[in-house]
Amino acid sequence: MEEGMDIYPFIDSQAIREHLQKLDYHFNAEEAAYLIWHSQKRTLEEKLSAWQEIVEATADDVMLLNRREGTEVSLRKILGAYVDERKKEIENFQEGKDCVYFYRYEEYEADSPMKPSWTMRSEQGFRDYKSCCDHFRREVEEGYQEDREQRLRNLQIERYDLAGAPRCKTASVNTRIQLTDFEPSPFQEEGRAGADIDFDILCSDMCIDIPAPFCRGDLVCHSDGKPFVLDYIAAWDRGKWLENGFSEEEAEQGDKERTRCFQNGDCFGMWTYGYEIRENFGVWYKDLGYREYLDLEYYERPLEGKERALKLISEFLKGNCDLELLLNGYAFGLLDGKQKQILRNYHSAYTKEWRKILGLDA
């Protein structure tokens, strides 16, 4: 990779980005191409420009593994063709004739980030792309002057061909109404072995191990903002498992599964696992939303209601409280502090430090 190329803007997680900058981490071409593809915050134009830099800086013999076929393809060749095809795709979508454009988006309430309040769709169709974007942008700017990044999701522009195409073509945009992707991508490229190769599929099958600062017991969230307590990241190697307090047997099993995922291109190899609070259920453990770790952030907002139990789980996994304190704190949280006698007993039985873990003292 060229020394002057800046990949950091394509790392969506601020925590991971700052961690890598402290390490002065150097990306290889495969990692750089994947991180650009994975970013949900950069525009398609920015991605294409960065990919073009990789194409120009990468030798022909740098290979990318096609895990589904068990073959290798030239990263420079397939990425160069992919960039050219996406540029044509943008041009065809924006300069369509005999078609009509609509836009749509979902609005979320600030205090309910998991469920959309409603889906909005343009009341009129537009005969050209620019008019649709201008009207869409004006509606977003005038109607959502604050918190639009948090309240608006799944912003899309739909193009319907008047000739009677069986389905509309859909483009995703950000809150500034800039293109971020198309759904689905139609691009395919012929590989060396004669098999059809889709760069999007190659990336979806890829597992990479980018250093991240998170440890077992950290209170974190994905881009949806829902807090959970991290147990482990599937990309951890044996040393990382042991470093986070797992047994030798657990570390061996985790490393074995990691190796399988990285060799076979199984996306499980980048998932996060941990504990969250689910409505009408309680504590839920396992994979959390089938999400990779690359958008993880530390959760820094105050925990409210039953989610305060996550603080206890965090302290327990970090070894700062025992099982008694964990269970009593969780039970007290379910009672929502209404049992005054229990409250008095806890104040007399536990030190100030432990009462702070329980959430009884500030």
Tokens of 274: 């941990």
Spatial contact of 36 and 51, defined as CB atoms under 8 Å apart: yes
Residues 6+ apart with CB under 8 A from 84: none
Regarding whether 222 and 113 lie in a shared domain, the answer is no
User: Where a domain ends, among 301, 318, 344?
Assistant: 301
pLDDT of residue 262: 86
Tokens of 62: 């740098």
Q: Is 355 domain-assigned?
A: no
Regarding whether 192 and 161 lie in a shared domain, the answer is no
Question: What is the mean predicted confidence (pLDDT) over 12-28?
Answer: 95
Query: Is 208's pLDDT higher than 60?
Result: yes
pLDDT of residue 125: 94
Tokens of 6: 């800046």
pLDDT of residue 110: 62
Regarding whether 216 and 158 lie in a shared domain, the answer is no
Q: How many angstroms separate the first and last alpha carbons of the chain?
A: 49
Residues 6+ apart with CB under 8 A from 228: 219, 220, 221, 274, 275, 276, 288, 299, 310
Regarding whether 221 and 275 lie in a shared domain, the answer is yes
Tokens of 14: 């601020």
Count up the domains in the chain and report the number.
3
- Whose CA is closest to 68, among 265, 259, 207? 265
pLDDT band for position 194 (cuts 50, 70, 90): very low
Cis peptide before 184 (omega within 30 of 0): yes
- Whose CA is closest to 216, among 271, 259, 272? 272
Three-state DSSP class for residue 48: helix
* 157 strand-pairing partners: 103, 171
The 10s digit of each residue's pLDDT in 283-333 is: 888 766 557 899 999 999 999 888 889 999 999 999 999 998 888 888 877
Regarding whether 54 and 195 lie in a shared domain, the answer is yes
Residue 160 to residue 122: CA distance in whole angstroms: 14
Q: Is 49 domain-assigned?
A: yes
The 10s digit of each residue's pLDDT in 109-137 is: 766 555 667 889 999 999 999 999 999 99
Q: Is 345 domain-assigned?
A: no
The CA-atom distances, in angstroms, between 276 and each of 221, 229, 235, 287, 307 are: 10, 7, 20, 10, 8
Which secondary-structure segment (H or E) carries 272?
Answer: strand 271-278
Question: What is the mean predicted confidence (pLDDT) over 38-64?
Answer: 92
Regarding whether 230 and 292 lie in a shared domain, the answer is yes
User: Where a domain ends, among 252, 282, 301?
Assistant: 301
Q: How many percent of the chain have pLDDT more than 90?
A: 53
pLDDT of residue 158: 95
Q: Is 50 domain-assigned?
A: yes
Three-state DSSP class for residue 200: helix
Q: Is 350 domain-assigned?
A: no
Residue 226 to residue 250: CA distance in whole angstroms: 27
pLDDT of residue 190: 41
Residues 6+ apart with CB under 8 A from 4: none
Residue 229 to residue 359: CA distance in whole angstroms: 16
Q: In whole numbers, what is the pLDDT of the chain averaged over residues?
A: 86
- Whose CA is closest to 129, among 119, 139, 137? 137
Regarding whether 297 and 215 lie in a shared domain, the answer is yes
Q: Is 40 domain-assigned?
A: yes
Query: Is 88's pLDDT higher than 60?
Result: yes
Q: Is 52 domain-assigned?
A: yes
pLDDT of residue 244: 96
Regarding whether 219 and 192 lie in a shared domain, the answer is no
Task: Give Dmax over CA atoms of the chain in angstroms.
Answer: 78
How many residues are there in the chain? 362
Regarding whether 217 and 162 lie in a shared domain, the answer is no
- Whose CA is closest to 105, among 47, 7, 177? 177
Radius of gyration of the chain (CA): 24
Q: Is 308 domain-assigned?
A: no
Place of tokens 């259920």: 281
Query: Is 206's pLDDT higher than 50?
Result: yes
Regarding whether 212 and 200 lie in a shared domain, the answer is no
Regarding whether 199 and 80 lie in a shared domain, the answer is yes
Question: What is the mean predicted confidence (pLDDT) over 5-17?
Answer: 94
Residue 269 to residue 267: CA distance in whole angstroms: 5
Question: What is the mean predicted confidence (pLDDT) over 66-71?
Answer: 75
Question: What is the mean predicted confidence (pLDDT) over 325-350?
Answer: 74
The CA-atom distances, in angstroms, between 79 and each of 13, 30, 58, 158 are: 24, 11, 10, 27
Regarding whether 107 and 65 lie in a shared domain, the answer is no
Tokens of 295: 């958008």
User: Where a domain ends, among 149, 174, 204?
Assistant: 204
pLDDT of residue 332: 74
Most confident of the following: 23-32, 56-65, 258-267, 325-334 = 23-32
What is the residue type of 203? C
Domain that holds residue 29: 8-87+188-204
